[in-house]
Chains A and B, each alone.
Chain A
Amino acid sequence: MFSETRKNDHLLLLLFAIVTLAGPILLAPLGAGYPDLLQRFCIFGIFAIGFNILFGLTGYLSFGHAAFLGVGSYSAVWMFKLLTMNVIPALILAVLIAGLFSLLIGYISLRRSGIYFSILTLAFAQMSFSLAYSVLTPITNGETGLQLSLKDPRILDATNTSGSLPSTNLFGLTMNSTAKVDFLGMTLQFNIGFYFCAIMLIIAFYISMRIFRSPFGLMLRAIKTNQTRLNYTGINTRPYTLAAFVISGMYAGLAGGLMACTDPLAGAERMQWTASGEVVLMTILGGAGTLLGPVLGAGFIKYFENIFSKINDNVLHNTFAFLPDGLEDFVVSILHVFVGKGWHLTLGVLFMMVVIFLPGGLIEGANRILSWLRTRGKAGDNTAESKETTTTKTAVNPAE
């Protein structure tokens, strides 16, 4: 499933869809089969796929994409407050507003390239964060964050008489309703919100695949490789980079909107630079410029974040109870810094290892394992095919 040759696109898409939809079953043994986490996989997967269209293809490294995520969330929540709890209008507005916002920021930031571009996007995102946090309180509800309230008009919805906050829905299907099934001793949870996010992820992946394979995508790749040559080949690179920037901003808006769909609130912290940095890590960790890499990176980071940040000293003490007391305390005090709130330290170490040993990200790792298996499995008779795969791959994944 990792060989991204252009020929087996349909197969890749099919596998991607199956794996995504079967997520609740496949990930249950890993302890990740519950809706909240599965939704996060999809949402951050979408965020990273979009980011990769800008960074992976054109090489323009934005440090401000969380701003669009935040804008998407705010727009969606406003739609829930004013119009209806149906998620569709909310998502449409989220994508549109994030698109407009990225058009503005992109138009200005793309006047520079390289590190100056990165700094400009970072500056804009921090400005957006500050605005959301304080100045624009009437729109964003500042520190508290934007939330639903019983007094909201919701002009399209029937009057709410239940006395509790309504929940988000897709034409009546409630997002947070879950069917639980016991299967081989595990509890499988099939959640509407997850399936909605999963379908969005599959669509997002499909669009990204089409962009990757199109002449437009080829131009974006050419920008990364040699912008000068492209200019002297009659191509105006600015609208291309701007289009990529806006598309990736819209993806971020969709992700932000979906966050609000699964949990209808929006806060300024979603726009903070750490959130922008996270999507950069996801993309690079998974494999920038590859189709599957960003999704893989997003899943990887969210999964391990979930595990590591839940571990506390008690868990550590229990795990290492078999060691002599002094040693146990020593080991726990060392590991303590890597878990719980210290999860970012673990992430940092992981990230450094990947960048140093697998510069192409997890996808490169997977490809290496696959080609190793292949050469071991069918030594000799298959060299032509594997050679073809590698050459196409170097053309397809400009990951270094």
Chain B
Amino acid sequence: MGILEVKNVNKSFSGLKALQNVNLSVEEGKIHAIIGPNGAGKSTLLNCFIGKLLPDSGTVTFDGQSLLGIPPHKINQTGVSRVFQTPEIFTDLSVIDNVMIPCFARRDGSFSLHAVKRVEDEAEVRDKAEQMLVDVNMADKRDMTASSLSRGDKRRLEMAMCLAQDPKLLLLDEPTAGMARADTNNTIELLADIQSKRHITMAVIEHDMHVVFSLAQKISVLAQGTVIVEDLPENIKGNPKVQEAYLGGAH
């Protein structure tokens, strides 16, 4: 049994069936890739895990508990973090503040009237945030305002923010889109490193096959709202169904 279990999930948007009877099982400590053509429903599926969307039917359980109908902040507090397809960061704040916020959320819970100490004096939290920036190679951008970062850097920042929470399950929606080749390779290294050291379970949506095959230990292929194949990476490449889905999706 996986740490994340998705059973018979359906979701339609005013007639458009975005997800149809989706089943998915993400094993603890593994990197599970979700691939598929544009509009297949990959992001919609992740939205059902984090409290952004409520499926029409089906179940989603994480660590044995249902995630459906639970508000986003509570889901996050149980250990699920997500990197979005379009970076969601605090654009008006400095890079270091961006990373400190999730650290505070982790330490103090979903609400705390913490107004006695100054942010600067929270050495423990700051050190952790700074370490995260080092991990994603952004230490030199510490004091920049987040809005002035490049697209790839925004994504790496968001990844640092999610990792700072020590999540049990990390959901990554196209983590390397908009990154230069070198940064993509750094990201692959970073994710592989985190997985081997911290055993964080990951579900990664990715179009870049180099990333997928470097990281994934299991792959689900989604096309037109259904999982057509779930298999080990070595069996995916040659699978005729997968090739057909990608060719079909191109039309």
CA distance A229 to B162 in the complex (A): 11
CA distance A218 to B117 in the complex (A): 12
Of B35-43, B93-101, B187-195, B233-241, the stretch lying at the interface with chain A is B93-101
Q: Which B residues, 79 to 115, have Cβ-Cβ distances below 8 Å to chain A?
A: 81-82, 88-94, 97, 100-102, 104-106, 108-115
CB contact under 8 A between A233 and B102, given known A215-B114, A226-B89: yes
Of B3-11, B14-22, B70-78, B222-230, the stretch lying at the interface with chain A is B70-78
CB-CB nearest in chain B for A387: B143
B127 located at the interface, meaning its Cβ lies under 8 Å from any Cβ of chain A in the complex: no
CB contact under 8 A between A235 and B73, given known A394-B145, A395-B93, A395-B97: yes
Of A80-88, A130-138, A236-244, the stretch lying at the interface with chain B is A236-244
Q: Which A residues, 205 to 226, have Cβ-Cβ distances below 8 Å to chain B?
A: 210-211, 213-219, 221-222, 224-226
B244 located at the interface, meaning its Cβ lies under 8 Å from any Cβ of chain A in the complex: no
Contacts of B93 in A (CB 8 A): 218, 221-222, 225, 395, 398
Bitwise, B111-126 to A at CB < 8 A (1) or not (0) is: 1111111111010000
Question: What's the nearest-Cβ distance from chain B to residue A20, in Å?
Answer: 23
Contacts of A382 in B (CB 8 A): none
B105 A233 Cβ-Cβ under 8 A: yes
B106 A234 Cβ-Cβ under 8 A: yes
B116 A225 Cβ-Cβ under 8 A: no
CA distance A231 to B80 in the complex (A): 12
- Option from A222, A237, A391, A398 in Cβ contact (under 8 Å) with B144: A391
Contacts of A222 in B (CB 8 A): 90, 93, 97, 101
Contacts of A391 in B (CB 8 A): 94, 143-145
A230 located at the interface, meaning its Cβ lies under 8 Å from any Cβ of chain B in the complex: yes
CB contact under 8 A between A395 and B106, given known A216-B112, A225-B90: no
Give the interface residue-count category, chain B: 35 or more
Contacts of B120 in A (CB 8 A): 6, 213
Contacts of B81 in A (CB 8 A): 232-233
CA distance A243 to B115 in the complex (A): 12
A228 located at the interface, meaning its Cβ lies under 8 Å from any Cβ of chain B in the complex: yes
B204 located at the interface, meaning its Cβ lies under 8 Å from any Cβ of chain A in the complex: no
CA distance A239 to B104 in the complex (A): 16
Contacts of B92 in A (CB 8 A): 221, 224-225, 394-395, 398
Contacts of B72 in A (CB 8 A): 231-232
Give the interface residue-count category, chain A: 20 to 34
A239 B111 Cβ-Cβ under 8 A: yes
Question: What's the nearest-Cβ distance from chain A to residue B170, in Å?
Answer: 12
CA distance A221 to B165 in the complex (A): 20
CA distance A216 to B100 in the complex (A): 12
B94 A395 Cβ-Cβ under 8 A: yes
CA distance A217 to B118 in the complex (A): 9
Dominant secondary structure at the A interface: helix
CB contact under 8 A between A232 and B111, given known A6-B120, A215-B117, A398-B93: no
A218 B115 Cβ-Cβ under 8 A: no
Bitwise, B136-147 to A at CB < 8 A (1) or not (0) is: 000000011100
CB-CB nearest in chain A for B102: A233
Chain A CB within 10 Å, residue with most, of B82, B119, B161: B119
Contacts of A215 in B (CB 8 A): 100, 104, 108, 112, 114-115, 117, 119, 122
CB contact under 8 A between A214 and B119, given known A225-B93, A395-B143: yes
CA distance A388 to B97 in the complex (A): 16
Contacts of B143 in A (CB 8 A): 388, 391-392, 395
CB-CB nearest in chain B for A218: B119
CA distance A232 to B50 in the complex (A): 8
B116 A234 Cβ-Cβ under 8 A: no
Contacts of A218 in B (CB 8 A): 93, 97, 100-101, 104, 119
CB contact under 8 A between A235 and B115, given known A218-B97, A395-B94, A395-B145: no
B89 A229 Cβ-Cβ under 8 A: yes
B115 A211 Cβ-Cβ under 8 A: yes
A240 B90 Cβ-Cβ under 8 A: no
B101 A230 Cβ-Cβ under 8 A: yes
A219 B101 Cβ-Cβ under 8 A: yes
Contacts of B144 in A (CB 8 A): 391
Chain B CB within 10 Å, residue with most, of A6, A213, A235: A235
CA distance A225 to B105 in the complex (A): 16
CB contact under 8 A between A233 and B76, given known A217-B115, A221-B93: yes
CA distance A239 to B112 in the complex (A): 9
Q: Which A residues, 4 to 25, have Cβ-Cβ distances below 8 Å to chain B?
A: 6
Contacts of B100 in A (CB 8 A): 215, 218
CA distance A234 to B75 in the complex (A): 7
CA distance A242 to B52 in the complex (A): 23
The 29 listed contacts between A and B (C-beta, < 8 Å) are A210-B115, A214-B116, A214-B117, A214-B118, A214-B119, A215-B104, A215-B114, A216-B113, A219-B104, A221-B93, A221-B97, A222-B93, A222-B97, A222-B101, A225-B91, A225-B93, A226-B90, A228-B88, A229-B88, A232-B52, A233-B73, A234-B77, A234-B102, A234-B105, A234-B110, A235-B101, A391-B145, A392-B143, A395-B97
Residue numbers of A with Cβ under 8 A of B are 6, 210-211, 213-219, 221-222, 224-226, 228-237, 239-240, 243, 388, 391-392, 394-395, 398
Residue numbers of B with Cβ under 8 A of A are 50, 52, 71-73, 76-77, 81-82, 88-94, 97, 100-102, 104-106, 108-120, 122, 143-145, 161, 165
Beyond the given A216-B115, A243-B113, A398-B93, please list 5 additional residue pairs across the A-B interface where CB-CB is below 8 A.
A214-B115, A222-B90, A233-B161, A237-B73, A395-B143
